[in-house]
Chains A and B, each alone.
Chain A
Amino acid sequence: MIPFFSRKQYPKFWKDHLEKVNGNKKYGNYENIRFVVIDTETTGFDFYKDRILCIGGVAIKNNKILISDSFEIYIKQDVFNKETVKIHGIRRNGDEIKVTEEEALIQFINYLDDAVIVAHHTSFDIGMINQALKRLNVGPIKSRLLDTNYLHKKLSGTNPYKKLYSLDDLCEIYNVKMHDRHTALGDALLTAYIFLKITSKFKKNKAVNLNDLLATNYQLNR
């Protein structure tokens, strides 16, 4: 019924996404790169059954976290999992203003713009988002991806296959005070702090560039 749902014709937001990410020339200059640190809260860990409840994101540019450039959206639910309510505190009919999954994704992709995505255990968040995009017949997301877990492992020299660091672990290692744990935007901010701290440690050795960072998690950007 809606024309952009037909097979070859992508909806506008997705066409924009592909264009921005592919044609970006700003990546060469580190100071100009816009990083968006994201986190999602979901009803569970099953890519197929579970759904995204909330997406939070905050931008970093030139080593500054821009609070004014942040994103927080709550999604109306069909699927509901009582168990995870305990973790994220988002009830089915909570007070937050909620939008449909489609609306949320459109807003999110628009918000992303040409940014490089940073997350903690990025493959999970992106996996959930890609599944949701699939339901809109688009995806997967084309943005370049970074993962603070891999960044840390590279920096600390631990074997990439050996250990998985949780966000709590990293907060402890990098001395980040934990606030608003298990809200999407709160976790995104914690991840942003960790990202800033890690990149400044990288900088100590030499100038950072995006490729060095991307090289820490080639698995994600294949």
Chain B
Amino acid sequence: MKNTIAERILDFLKDFPPFDVLEKEQLFKIAENVKVIHLEKDNFIFKQNEKPHLNFYVVKEGAIGLYRTMDNDQILVDICDEGDLFGLRPLIQNDQYLMSAKANEESLLYAISVEILKEIIKTNDKINKFLIASFATNIKTPYANKDRQLFDYEEISDSNLSDIQTADYSKNPITCTKNTSIKEAAQIMSTKRVGSILIVENKNPIGIITDKDLRLKIATGLISIEAKVTEIMSSPVITFPINITTAEAQIAMLKHKVTHLCITKNGTPNSKLIGVLSEHDIVVLHGNNPSVLVKELKRSKNINTLKYIRNKTSNLLKSYIEQHIPITFISKIISEINDVITSKAIEFSIEEMKSEPPVKFSWLALGSQGRKEQLLITDQDNAIVFEDVPEENYKTTKDYFIKLAKKITEKLNFVGYEYCPAEMMASNPKWCLSLNEWKNQFNTWITKPTEDAVMLCTIFFDYSVIYGDKNLVHKMSESIFKSIESYEIFLNFLGRNALRNPPPLGFFRQFLVENNGEHKDQFDIKSRALMPLVDAARLIALSHNLKDNNNTITRFEEIANAEPQNKDLYLNCADSFKILLHFRTKQGIENNSSGRYVNLNKLSKSEKLKLKGCFKPIKDIQDLLNIRYNLAQMM
């Protein structure tokens, strides 16, 4: 029989998750059996601890508040508005209601029989995932649920990308032994028409010669063509196992500054050579290639090129985000490019100076660039540390570096990295200091942790060396850790700072309840969601003396190993961070902004749900910090 109403209900439901993933017949079956309920304002649908009904509910019109009663207080936990679903979990898990549902305004609800849904769940995998996700969001911590896939099921949904595909390497590489002469090797290369030859010993690769070696070392007459290949080969070679992905290969090439990788049986140089993966192989695979960009950068002669490439990088970023390429890979690529641009800006600036730097120095990237999480172009945050000099030379030395820093920051500004409004830049005399001055500065911050000092620490602790002498920075780091060790209460202050941001879980409830206010429609994803994770990762990593990595994701992975009892929590934090960073970057690209403020009205239900899922670990890690650092007592 024709059923006009059921069709109309179907029309309504089909736009909302999880109904949007149902087959039409399945949804029609649901629609046909809907019961429509009208509620006056302040009437209850169910109350906390009540036995579950036979139906769950979808809001057709109006708004339903979910409340938890605690010590005679009714705490508003969430508000469901048009299209929101509630009261399902207790039905499936056969548990009593954990919250009360009350009409906050006059409402119409669709009551849907759980039995019909159960039938559908059996055959529809997507709805199953939705339900797991929504239970995790509303009631349970996601990691209590062993399905860690929960967080990234959307992220990996499009696997048409080449980066996480296994890279296609050349099998049967051209080889010679270490007794071959350079001339013979060159002849083999030209007959086989290849640009590289591997030197093997017992089938294991020990070195490589490329066209470039022949050009630089032979054609220039530096070495005789009769010499053995071992004279000019690059050794050791960078090796990987056969399942290397294109992404890994690109990163390895960037990192080791090589153009060829050897594929060996077990991935170490001490096993049989199986193939060679050249940069060219990857270029073929990728149109828009980051290592090509980096190469162009390295060849660049002026800042206009830097600016051009930074713009190109934005396009690359955009396509990566659209293709759902894993955020860890994206951030590695983009940070590498940022770092090379900065290095180039420094090189150009040194050239412009009348003399070479008087002493060794390091250029530090701070904050998000230091953590290698800067995807969209944001402000510059940087500093200089230079070698200690005798007092009589101090002024001239410092003047030199400030002048240099001014040139560098100007260039970076031209490229697109705007000046830091808080002047946290090396051109500021406060942040262009000698090694000893920095040691003292950090020591003062650590032993006199005023609110400002702690805030500065959070920025300056996340430094990474972009250019210059690494040893200087290493000494600085050691001194910092010594200071922290001898003044451990500092970590408590850092902990207090980490909790300064209001917990994000429940932001949506706030958003929905508040009918006015300045940021009514906007969510500050940076300070409410990303920073709490960044701060927590830094604090816990510091407490474990883990100083080699500043990247938040890596920090979480490291502390997960250091504290196996909290492994799930930390890995979930890492996952949340990935999703949030991806999300912010996407927002930034779409709105051509920093992506910091999110317009919630423009988000789809599933995006909101995904965000909420990310907030759960944030709350949990903040609880952990609270207990661990006795923060309640300090506040």
B444 at the interface (CB under 8 A from A): no
Given the interface pairs A193-B38, A196-B38, A200-B40, the reply to whether A67 lies near B106 with Cβ below 8 Å is no
Question: Complex Cα distance A63/B8, Å?
Answer: 20
* A127-142 CB contacts (< 8 Å) to partner B: none
Given the interface pairs A63-B38, A64-B36, A196-B38, the reply to whether A179 lies near B8 with Cβ below 8 Å is yes
Instruction: Give every chain B residue within 8 A of A65 (Cβ-Cβ).
Output: 35-37
* B1-31 CB contacts (< 8 Å) to partner A: 1-6, 8-9, 31
Main secondary structure of the interface of B (DSSP, over half): mixed
Q: How far is the CB of A182 from chain B (nearest CB, A)?
A: 11
Instruction: Give every chain A residue within 8 A of B106 (Cβ-Cβ).
Output: 175, 197
Contact A67 B6 (CB under 8 A): yes
Instruction: Give every chain B residue within 8 A of A118 (Cβ-Cβ).
Output: none
Stretch of A8-16, A78-86, A157-165, A183-191 at the chain-chain interface = A183-191
A177 at the interface (CB under 8 A from B): yes
B108 at the interface (CB under 8 A from A): yes
Given the interface pairs A58-B5, A185-B3, the reply to whether A68 lies near B32 with Cβ below 8 Å is yes
Instruction: Give every chain B residue within 8 A of A72 (Cβ-Cβ).
Output: 1-4
Instruction: Give every chain B residue within 8 A of A197 (Cβ-Cβ).
Output: 38, 106
Contact B4 A180 (CB under 8 A): yes
Instruction: Give every chain B residue within 8 A of A186 (Cβ-Cβ).
Output: 4-5, 8
Question: Complex Cα distance A183/B33, Å?
Answer: 20
**A interface, size bucket:** 20 to 34
Q: Which residue of B lies closest to A60 (CB)?
A: B36
Contact B4 A67 (CB under 8 A): no
Contact B33 A67 (CB under 8 A): yes
Instruction: Give every chain B residue within 8 A of A2 (Cβ-Cβ).
Output: none
Question: Complex Cα distance A68/B6, Å?
Answer: 8
Q: Which residue of A lies closest to B6 (CB)?
A: A67
Instruction: Give every chain A residue within 8 A of B539 (Cβ-Cβ).
Output: none
Main secondary structure of the interface of A (DSSP, over half): mixed
Q: Which residue of A lies closest to B2 (CB)?
A: A72
Contact with B along A48-62 (1 / 0, CB 8 A): 000000001010000
A96 at the interface (CB under 8 A from B): yes
Given the interface pairs A175-B106, A177-B61, A193-B108, the reply to whether A67 lies near B5 with Cβ below 8 Å is yes
A206 at the interface (CB under 8 A from B): no
Instruction: Give every chain A residue within 8 A of B39 (Cβ-Cβ).
Output: 200
Q: How far is the CB of B9 from chain A (nearest CB, A)?
A: 6
Question: Complex Cα distance A48/B8, Å?
Answer: 34
Q: How far is the CB of B402 from chain A (nearest CB, A)?
A: 67
Q: How far is the CB of A10 from chain B (nearest CB, A)?
A: 27
Contact B4 A63 (CB under 8 A): no
Q: Which residue of B lies closest to A56 (CB)?
A: B4
A222 at the interface (CB under 8 A from B): no
A66 at the interface (CB under 8 A from B): yes
B618 at the interface (CB under 8 A from A): no
B263 at the interface (CB under 8 A from A): no
Question: Complex Cα distance A67/B111, Å?
Answer: 10
Question: Complex Cα distance A66/B9, Å?
Answer: 12
B408 at the interface (CB under 8 A from A): no
Q: How far is the CB of A184 from chain B (nearest CB, A)?
A: 8
Given the interface pairs A64-B111, A175-B106, A180-B8, the reply to whether A70 lies near B3 with Cβ below 8 Å is yes
A7 at the interface (CB under 8 A from B): no
Given the interface pairs A65-B36, A193-B38, A193-B108, the reply to whether A185 lies near B31 with Cβ below 8 Å is no
Contact A189 B5 (CB under 8 A): yes
Contact B37 A64 (CB under 8 A): yes
User: Which of B3, B35, B40 sits near A66, CB closer than 8 Å?
Assistant: B35
Instruction: Give every chain A residue within 8 A of B9 (Cβ-Cβ).
Output: 67
Contact A185 B5 (CB under 8 A): yes
Instruction: Give every chain B residue within 8 A of A177 (Cβ-Cβ).
Output: 61
Q: How far is the CB of A97 from chain B (nearest CB, A)?
A: 7
Instruction: Give every chain A residue within 8 A of B32 (Cβ-Cβ).
Output: 67-68
Q: Which residue of A lies closest to B106 (CB)?
A: A175
Question: Complex Cα distance A168/B238, Å?
Answer: 78
Contact with A along B527-562 (1 / 0, CB 8 A): 000000000000000000000000000000000000
Q: Which residue of B lies closest to A66 (CB)?
A: B35
B34 at the interface (CB under 8 A from A): yes
Question: Complex Cα distance A193/B106, Å?
Answer: 12
Given the interface pairs A64-B111, A67-B31, A175-B106, the reply to whether A204 lies near B5 with Cβ below 8 Å is no
Contact with B along A93-106 (1 / 0, CB 8 A): 00011000000000
Q: Which residue of A lies closest to B31 (CB)?
A: A67
Contact A183 B40 (CB under 8 A): no
Question: Complex Cα distance A200/B106, Å?
Answer: 11
Contact B40 A185 (CB under 8 A): no
Q: Which residue of B lies closest to A204 (CB)?
A: B40
Question: Complex Cα distance A63/B35, Å?
Answer: 10
- Name, among B1, B2, B9, the residue most crowded by chain A CB atoms within 10 Å (CB to CB): B2
Q: Which residue of A lies closest to B12 (CB)?
A: A179
- Name, among B4, B8, B35, B111, the residue most crowded by chain A CB atoms within 10 Å (CB to CB): B4
Interface residues of A (CB under 8 A from B): 56, 58, 63-68, 70, 72-74, 96-97, 175, 177, 179-180, 183, 185-186, 189, 192-193, 196-197, 200-201, 204
- Give 6 A-B contacts (CB < 8 Å), ordered by A residue: A56-B4, A63-B37, A68-B32, A70-B6, A175-B106, A197-B106
**Which 9 pairs across A and B sit closest by C-beta, in order of nearness?**
A65-B36, A196-B38, A64-B35, A185-B4, A67-B34, A68-B33, A200-B40, A189-B5, A64-B37
Can you name 12 extra interface pairs (CB under 8 A) apart from A63-B37, A175-B106? A58-B5, A64-B35, A64-B111, A67-B32, A68-B34, A72-B3, A183-B4, A186-B4, A192-B36, A193-B36, A193-B108, A200-B40
